[in-house]
């Protein structure tokens, strides 16, 4: 008899029976907190625990009574797409006192609660840890005061704490992204994109203030995402004399026919003497020195508001489930931990190690040790800053290295949002490295036709926020035209190639590698960046463009579900793109709160469809008013969207009616999300630095000659790291018939979607975080920051 996999949830060894878990949100609100609360409640109930809401944060814990309520499955319905926190958050001075914590302990013991899931910032989490350390002493006091029985001290002897960081500032060390940061970036970029159109019309300069009293992450990443002319952040104050340099930069940009300037200022921006730099000061400076028409926009609490992005919903859902697992596995000796994100993986870190490092950042800034502050923020922050400097500030021609190398960049396959950001980054980094950059229009079709021209620094200005492919892209593969392509490479003396695209780009690179045997022109460094909404390229967990498509799906699903608000019970069948890859349907389903998602990778039959209908029927009878079912376009040739729609319509008669929607190419259009802009920008910069390194390594006897496997690579994100992988070695990992990788990480998220939709299923926890330490939680080559 086969042994059960010890890494699966089995109720005999990971049961929550008899446990009580309470969830609270504290400090400033952040979009995605509700998704985290929903995940904690539903996962807690799934494993058999009792789950409680603590309303109004620590204030509710101190006040007790109606503020501590038992949660049900239905009580977290329809909250996934809601911003803020529906269970409330409040600052609580009383909890900072011993008397306040004594009241809180009494209220928890009355409900039998010894497991706390705290969603908040470093202050909230520090308070939770102090509460945990004092717990046994507090219980002893309560016994002495006659408020609880003596046996309660033994019964509730330990308080277990797991934290999730909810903060739009992304100011907590130990995690690449905090809940709410991506959504705040969405708000900022929406405003910046809108401002750019009016600024261009009037040739204006706009100074924007974004949140970040002690952390410049939002300012820095939004500056990267919109190609701002200047950014001011607290961790890296500008050098003395920055005012003159900034005005020179603005003036130089206007001289090359740029009609607008954008300056982004973090609210906590300071100079080298710790003196605040305000938006008003910057505006007056520009008006005085340059005479430009200049306006100030302070975004304020707009950044906290609105619906959470797809990224934040998925992040919060994954963290919420991980938090419950951590609480189930904790012992009396386990330190309080925080659930974090490293690359594309959940990790658990000791809460106080993270808090102490976060406090060290502030101490470094107070002591004017700014380089140390940037380093302590983590590799992601460091890399963002380095990339921004590389792309925003062009060195004078006299300071550029002279490499005499020509590098061509092209797009291949279907367009994907973020391609243009990647091309802009490649061009500017290439020029900074001393190369001459060439743009190829219309992919390999344009290549063999000779549609190749030099592209300069200013030519890619404003490309970051543009959707589609400004270079033009085609699905044409090079195999049939290698001779003509080789001829064009000779003609333009192309020494390296950067291809941005999807599965066709991967196939193209394989064909060019194989053509090396016949054509020496292809014996050059070649690199591919994955860019496709389908996220079906082998060798990478994420592709440029997939996040934008996910947001389009999630926003549409929200609207579609809302259309049934107040009407009779209704189920929506929605078809997504993706070819044979079920990424968009599965991850979109998790982010939108779908009841089912049909994909090719997980075969299903009529019995599965019937079981799904019956499951939805039961839910409709007892609680929910709206159901959501996603179907990948190629999941099954017989069970079409029409078939599933008709099946649900027939079987749901008398309980619910059905509607169908085919989302189509709206998933491919629109402006790129902040994630895709930054992901494209950063991996492209890294790829160009790799290209430079390979060009130097392979330049011998007056020419470049590279014919090894490692000179023809795909740059992808694997779990925690960005990795250059020879495309030849990825062949065995690829299903070429269905154009998908043979193994796909996101399939492990599917049981999570089912659990949150009230299905009984096993959940693979092989990737669940073991407790690590903050000092060694990132490998050397990391900088994966899946996020930003």
With a CB cutoff of 8 Å and minimum separation 6, the contacts of 280 are 296
Residues 6+ apart with CB under 8 A from 275: none
Mean pLDDT throughout 540-567?
A: 91
Active site residues: 169
* Rounded Cα gap, residues 733 and 743, in angstroms: 7
d(CA 382, CA 778): 13
Question: Are the C-beta atoms of 652 and 616 separated by less than 8 Å?
Answer: yes
CB–CB of 199/227 below 8 Å? no
Which of 562, 612, 561, 601 is closest to 578 using CA atoms?
601
pLDDT at 626: 85
pLDDT tens column, 435-478: 999 999 999 999 999 999 999 998 998 899 999 999 999 999 99
Quote the CA–CA distance of 35 and 320 in Å, as a whole number. 8
Neighbours of 520 (CB within 10 A): 14
Q: Beta strand 50-54 with 626-632: parallel, antiparallel or unpaired?
A: unpaired
Residue 411: name the closest of 378, 455, 350 by CA.
455
Taking the mean position of all CA atoms in its chain, how far away is CA 665?
A: 23
Rounded to 10 deg, the angle between the 419-432 and 674-698 helix axes is 40
What does the mean pLDDT of the chain come to?
A: 91
Q: In sequence order, what are the beta bridge partners of 544?
A: 531
Residue-level pLDDT at 5? 40
Q: How far apart are CA 630 and CA 43, in angstroms?
A: 22
Write the Ramachandran bin of 38: left for phi over 0, alpha for psi from -120 to 50, otherwise beta.
alpha
pLDDT at 174: 86
Q: Is the pLDDT of residue 92 over 80?
A: yes
Task: Mean pLDDT check: name the lowest of 14-18, 260-264, 449-453, 673-677.
Answer: 14-18
Q: For 396, list phi and psi in degrees, rounded to 5.
A: -60, 150
Average pLDDT over residues 481-502: 97
pLDDT for the residue 781: 38
Q: Taking the complete model, does pTM exceed 0.75, yes or no?
A: yes
Note the pLDDT of residue 673: 97
Q: What is the DSSP string of 379-427?
A: HHHHHHHHHHHHHHSPPPGGGS-----EEEEEEESS--TTHHHHHHHHH
- CB burial class (10 A; 0-12, 13-18, 19+) of residue 688? buried
Structure confidence at residue 508 (pLDDT): 97
How far is Cα 308 from Cα 318, in angstroms, rounded to an integer? 15
Residue that has been written with the tokens 């496997």 in this structure: 709
**Which residues on neighbouring strands pair with residue 498, listed in sequence order?**
409, 527
Rg (CA), the chain: 27
**Around Cβ 66, how many Cβ atoms within 10 Å?**
8
Quote the percentage of the chain above a pLDDT of 70. 95
CA–CA distance, 436 with 432 (Å, rounded to integer): 10
The runs of H, that is alpha helices, within 632-775 are 641-651, 674-698, 750-756
Q: Do 304 and 30 touch, CB atoms closer than 8 A?
A: yes
The pLDDT assigned to 199 comes to 83
Provide the sign of the torsion angle of the four alpha carbons 361, 362, 364, 370, taken in this order.
positive
CA dist 218 and 303 (Å) reads: 10
pLDDT interval class at 764 (50, 70, 90): low
Lookup: tokens for 382? 């460091």
Alpha-carbon span 256 to 664, nearest angstrom: 39
Of residues 728, 733, 757, the one with CA closest to residue 744: 733
Mean pLDDT value of segment 195-210:
90
Distance CA 771, CA 779 (A): 16
Looking at the predicted structure, is the pLDDT value of residue 4 above 80?
Answer: no
Segments in 661-767 forming alpha helices (H) = 674-698, 750-756
- Token pair, residue 169, equals 């500032």
pLDDT band at 770 (very low <50, low <70, confident <90, very high): low
Taking the CB of residue 146, how many other CB atoms lie within 10 A of it?
7
Kindly tell me if the per-residue pLDDT of 778 is higher than 70: no
Tokens of 625: 């008013």
Lowest mean pLDDT segment, chosen from 109-123, 158-172, 341-355, 544-558:
341-355
Task: Quickly state the pLDDT bin for 620 (edges 50, 70, 90).
Answer: confident
Query: Rounded to whole angstroms, how far apart are CA atoms 742 and 634?
Result: 16
Which position has the higher pLDDT, 527 or 786? 527
pLDDT score for 784:
43
Whether 358 shows a pLDDT value over 50: the answer reads yes
Average of per-residue pLDDT across 385-396 = 85
Do 307 and 83 contact (CB within 8 A), yes or no?
yes
Q: Calculate mean pLDDT across residues 185-213.
A: 92
Instruction: Work out the burial of residue 404: count CB atoms within 10 Å of its CB; fewer than 13 is exposed, 13-18 middle, 19 or more buried.
Output: exposed
| CB 411, CB 469: distance < 8 Å | yes
Fill in the DSSP letter of residue 517: G
Closest CA to 679 of 425, 318, 310: 425
- Scored b (16 or more CB within 10 A) or e, 446-483 reads bbbeebbeebebeebebbbbbbbbbbbbbbbbbeebbe
Strands 712-718 and 721-726: antiparallel
The tokens describing 147, both together, are 């408020």
Rounded Cα distance, 490 and 716, in Å:
29
pLDDT at 775 over 70: no
What pLDDT does 765 receive?
Answer: 61
- The string of pLDDT tens digits covering residues 129-140 is 999 999 999 999
Q: How far apart are the first and last CA of the chain?
A: 47
- Strand extents, DSSP E, 596-741: 596-598, 626-632, 657-662, 699-700, 703-704, 712-718, 721-726, 734-735, 740-741
Could you give the C-alpha distances from 619 to 112, 561, 650, 704, 786, in angstroms and in order? 30, 16, 17, 65, 35
Q: Give me the pLDDT at residue 779, please.
A: 39
Answer whether 269's CB lies under 8 Å from 223's CB. Answer: no
Measured CA angle at 709 (ends 704, 711), to 5 deg:
35
Instruction: Express each pLDDT in 32-58 by its tens digit.
Output: 999 999 999 999 999 999 999 999 999
CA dihedral 244, 245, 248, 253 (to 10 degrees): -140
Residue 7 has pLDDT above 70, yes or no: no
Q: Which helix (H) or strand (E) holds 21?
A: strand 20-25
| Residue among 577, 584, 582, 549 at smallest CA distance from 633 | 577
What residues contact residue 346 under an 8 Å CB cut-off, 6+ apart?
Answer: 318, 319, 322, 339, 340, 767, 768, 769
Q: Is 112 left (phi over 0), alpha (psi -120 to 50) or beta?
A: left
Return the pLDDT at 255.
Answer: 83
pLDDT band of 623, cuts 50, 70, 90: low
Rounded to whole angstroms, what are the CA distances from 278 to 21, 50, 233, 284, 361?
45, 49, 11, 10, 22
> What would the two tokens of residue 389 be?
């400097």
């Amino acid at each position: 008899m086969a042994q059960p996999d010890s890494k699966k949830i089995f109720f005999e060894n990971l049961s929550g029976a008899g446990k009580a878990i309470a969830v609270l949100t504290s400090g400033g609100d952040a979009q995605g907190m509700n998704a985290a609360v929903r995940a904690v409640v539903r996962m807690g109930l799934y494993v058999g625990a009792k789950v409680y809401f603590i309303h109004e944060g620590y204030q509710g814990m101190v006040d007790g009574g109606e503020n501590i309520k038992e949660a049900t499955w239905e009580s977290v319905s329809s909250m996934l797409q809601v911003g803020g926190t529906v269970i409330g958050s409040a600052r609580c001075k009383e909890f900072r006192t011993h008397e306040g914590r004594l009241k809180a302990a009494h209220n928890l013991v009355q409900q039998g609660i010894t497991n706390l899931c705290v969603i908040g910032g470093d202050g909230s989490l520090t308070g939770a840890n102090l509460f945990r350390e004092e717990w046994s002493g507090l219980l002893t006091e309560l016994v002495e005061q006659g408020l609880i029985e003596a046996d309660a001290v033994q019964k509730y002897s330990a308080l277990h704490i797991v934290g999730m960081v909810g903060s739009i500032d992304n100011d907590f060390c130990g995690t690449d992204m905090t809940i709410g940061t991506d959504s705040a970036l969405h708000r900022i970029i929406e405003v910046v994109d809108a401002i750019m159109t009016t600024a261009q019309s009037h040739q204006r300069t706009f100074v924007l203030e974004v949140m970040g009293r002690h952390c410049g992450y939002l300012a820095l990443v939004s500056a990267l995402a919109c190609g701002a002319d200047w950014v001011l952040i607290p961790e890296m104050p500008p050098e003395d004399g920055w005012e003159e340099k900034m005005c020179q930069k603005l003036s130089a940009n206007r001289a090359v026919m740029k009609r607008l300037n954008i300056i982004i200022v973090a609210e906590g921006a300071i100079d080298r003497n710790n003196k605040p730099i305000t938006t008003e000061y910057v505006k007056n400076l520009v008006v005085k020195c340059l005479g430009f028409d200049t306006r100030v926009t302070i975004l304020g609490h707009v950044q906290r508001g609105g619906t959470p992005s797809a990224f934040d919903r998925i992040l919060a859902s994954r963290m919420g489930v991980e938090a419950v697992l951590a609480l189930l596995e904790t012992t009396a000796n386990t330190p309080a931990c925080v659930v974090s994100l490293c690359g594309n993986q959940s990790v658990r870190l000791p809460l106080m190690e993270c808090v102490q490092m976060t406090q060290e950042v502030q101490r470094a800034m107070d002591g004017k040790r700014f380089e140390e502050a940037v380093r302590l923020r983590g590799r992601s922050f460091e890399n963002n800053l380095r990339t921004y400097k590389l792309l925003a500030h062009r060195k004078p021609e006299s300071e550029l290295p002279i490499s005499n190398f020509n590098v061509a960049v092209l797009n291949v396959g279907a367009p994907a949002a973020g391609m243009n950001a990647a091309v802009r980054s490649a061009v500017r980094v290439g020029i900074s490295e001393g190369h001459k950059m060439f743009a190829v229009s219309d992919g390999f079709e344009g290549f063999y036709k000779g549609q190749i021209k030099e592209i300069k620094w200013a030519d890619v200005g404003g490309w970051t926020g543009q959707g589609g492919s400004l270079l033009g892209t085609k699905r044409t593969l090079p195999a049939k035209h290698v001779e003509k392509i080789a001829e064009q490479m000779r003609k333009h003396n192309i020494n390296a190639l950067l291809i941005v695209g999807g599965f066709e780009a991967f196939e193209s690179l394989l064909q060019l590698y194989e053509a090396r045997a016949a054509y020496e022109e292809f014996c050059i460094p070649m690199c591919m960046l994955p860019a496709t909404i389908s996220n079906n390229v082998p060798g990478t967990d994420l592709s440029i463009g997939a996040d934008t498509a996910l947001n389009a799906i999630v926003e549409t699903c929200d609207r579609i579900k809302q259309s049934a608000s107040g009407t009779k019970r209704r189920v929506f069948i929605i078809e997504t793109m993706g070819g044979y890859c079920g990424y968009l349907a599965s991850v979109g389903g998790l982010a939108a709160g779908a009841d089912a998602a049909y994909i090719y990778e997980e075969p299903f039959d009529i019995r599965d469809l019937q079981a799904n209908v019956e499951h939805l029927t039961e839910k409709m009878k007892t609680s929910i008013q709206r159901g959501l079912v996603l179907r990948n376009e190629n999941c099954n040739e017989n069970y079409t969207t029409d078939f599933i729609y008709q099946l649900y319509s027939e079987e749901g008669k008398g309980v619910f009616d059905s509607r169908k929607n085919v989302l189509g190419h709206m998933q491919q259009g629109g402006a790129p999300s902040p994630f895709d802009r930054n992901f494209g920008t950063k991996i492209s910069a890294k790829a160009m630095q790799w290209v430079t390194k390979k060009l130097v390594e392979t330049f011998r006897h007056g020419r470049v000659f590279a014919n090894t496997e490692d000179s023809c690579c795909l740059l992808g994100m694997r779990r925690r790291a960005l990795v250059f992988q020879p495309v030849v070695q990825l062949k065995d990992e690829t299903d070429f018939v269905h154009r998908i990788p043979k193994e796909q990480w996101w399939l492990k998220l599917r049981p999570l979607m089912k659990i949150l939709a009230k299905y009984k299923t096993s959940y693979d926890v092989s990737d669940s975080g073991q407790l690590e330490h903050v000092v060694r939680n990132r490998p050397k080559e990391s900088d994966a920051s899946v996020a930003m």
